[in-house]
Structure 1
Amino acid sequence: MNPTLLFWIPALLRMGLILAGAAVLWWLFGLVYGLAAALLAVIFLLFVQLRYLNQLGVWLDEPHSARLPDGWGSWTEIFARLYRLRRDDERNKAELTEWLARFRQAMHLLPDGVAIMDDVLFLEWCNPAAERHLGLTLERDKGMRVTNLIRHPDFIDYIILGRYEQPLTLAFRDRKLICQIIPFENRRQILVTHDVTETVRIEEMRRDFIANASHELRTPLTVIVGFLEIASSDMMIDAETRAAHLKLMTEQGHRMQRLIEDMLTLSRLESVDYPLRRERVDMRALVEEILGEARALSGGRHTIGATVDGPDVNGSAEELRSAFGNLASNAVRYTPEGGSIALAWRDGPGGPRFVVTDTGIGIDQSHISRLTERFYRVDKSRSRETKGTGLGLAIVKHVLLRHGGNLSITSEAGKGSSFIANLPGG
């Protein structure tokens, strides 16, 4: 039914009842009584309307569906409609609050930085990733101009030029960031930052690895190919020279073989498809085996001893043999003839450890932090003499990482070194 009719029909009925009642009193008691009764009825109705208007005004100051008053007459329908509207509004508000909470949680967990700015670049909001990337603090920096907070010439130029369709690569706060501004709505912009520091570092490591591996393989290949060309030519070569060439080619072939084997080992250690296979490792037998290999490599040129005073561990015997063997062989290679080398497997407060101590040439402090990098060498010429591949300590580091351990190094140039492979306790 038409809402207008719903209002006027009850109103006219009430007025009709008042007039009918007044007419009856007029007929029974006279005109004065009839008019007085009609006036009192109208005043009562007016009082009721004013009372409900007052209640409506109070409710509008603090609207809540549970506090909405009951009505009478047309007010019943009015309050019923207000109740439905307010209830729908509260439901929508609750849903909006829930979605806003989800949005904020998602923004907090997002690895990319998101900062919302107005059209003149005043900061309105940012997530924790943006705070980390750009050095912002929302509570402190909200309402401040972003160009005053991010003082970098490239970023300022990016803002001035306004070519936002292309991202900006920014070196900022020891990070590599890809930044892009995305306009949205009429008076707001979003600054998105993506941290590519680790990606760039891995890419640089990949390039360096390929360059170093190519360089390491080039020398033995050049030697072998050169001697093969001489051998295939018509040049007369005496038996002694041929024997020397064959010996050198064999040495270079073995060098390439060791290098390729170490590269394959590193690849396996870093692969997620090559999980750690734990077993109970007899550490006394393992250390004795490494001691034998070290003495064989030394050929009697060093004094080498070993002590075992630690527990057996759960791990990969093959990987631990490779890691500990690399530490021992490095000590042999870099300790001059007549020096001493001590191998020790002992228990400690933080867990068991394998310690290799030598009286070798030692390492300057500036090199220690980079020793586990692939192909990093303190003295390249000496490394070639000792037939090292440059990957031994990188293998040690990765084996220990897979076992939850770490490598610590103490050394002093000219006085020897101590390499400590720490494994977790328990």
Structure 2
Amino acid sequence: MTEDFAAAERTALRGLLDALKREGLVPPEWERAARAVPRSAYVPELIYLGDDLEPCNRADDPEAWLRAVYADDSVVTQVNDGEDPGEDGERWASSSASAPGIVFRMLRMADVGDGHRVLEIGTGTGWNAGLLSHVVGAENVTTVEVDPVLAAMAKGRLWGEGLRAEVVAGDGALGHAGGAPYDRLVATCSVRSVPRPWLEQVKPGGVVLTPWESPWICYGLLRMTVDGAGAASGRFSPHSAFMLMRAQRTDLRIFRDVVRDAHRPDESSTGLPPWRVAGDDFAAQFAMGLLLRDVWWTWHDDPDVEGVASRLWVATTDATSWAAVDWDGTSDDRFTVWQHGPRRLWDETEAAYAWWTSHDRPGPERFGLTVTATGETPWLDDPGRPVPAMG
């Protein structure tokens, strides 16, 4: 490392920490960890920037690389699950270093303390495990990574920095029973359903903290307390979006997997603008995800249909039912609806939106989830007020 690069890194780190401290995100113990565990030691030489995921190599452009490493933003560190997409192939993000702001927010929410035994799901670059190791002791940190190449690289970085945490290559949904019981479980990938082994491997009174995702939206954090009888309950909070756990991924496309030429949908109309449920209101979208638990959506702009400027598709994850809502580009009070399959998905969407508005449009922080041996129950305000399933 050159002296100029080291000086630039110190300046970048100071600027990042000052900004995060102004937001109240970095208490003293985590600031010390951030200084002792430099993010630059964990982010790989090759990263991917921007919406087009353009490669950025530290050797070729050290200034751009360093700016990305110490920005309060996520950094894509792997595309296409490590497969080479080729010069003209489509790139999609498959692993990233989370934004420092959300990293420190989650560490505070998990209430990790000295001597706690911590299980991390989703090692990624290893930086989060490094921060944990500095605070609780590396001997108390176990981290699981599904990608064996990423796991080996992270272990090399951690051990190279003298932090000999246990790095396990395996399915994070299974946790790691060999190190149980844990005081805290922190996931760095989102889930649509909480894996039961997580609850079994955390001590009674221990905390599970995981990003949350529904097929409708990737948004929110879930903090649960384990009761010692195989169950857990806790609340959601907003402001996060993480890559979905690989074991829970779905790969669905409307014209490839759902809509068929032979389908003859029923036509109707609606007064509910489609952007109310699939627009910029993340609180509405989060609620839709809890109420419509197996439904996803996608927009189709300029669909090459006469009189249609934009179309919202909604469909079930089993690809058996779908609906489409058309906007003609001018009217804001009436929209054409097409529905096909055993479920009337737009009818369900309207019912879900009506429920949400009738309960004062609650945000994620008013919702929670209880997990028991018989399933998962979302609730509003307290566990005694379950959220209905509209499907």
Fold shared per TM-score above 0.5:
no
Q: TM-score, normalised by structure 1?
A: 0.20
TM-score after normalising by structure 2: 0.22
Task: Give 1 or 2: higher helix fraction.
Answer: 1
Larger radius of gyration: 1
Q: Answer 1 or 2: higher relative contact order, Cα 8 Å, separation at least 6.
A: 2
**When you count strand as a share of all residues, which structure comes out higher?**
2
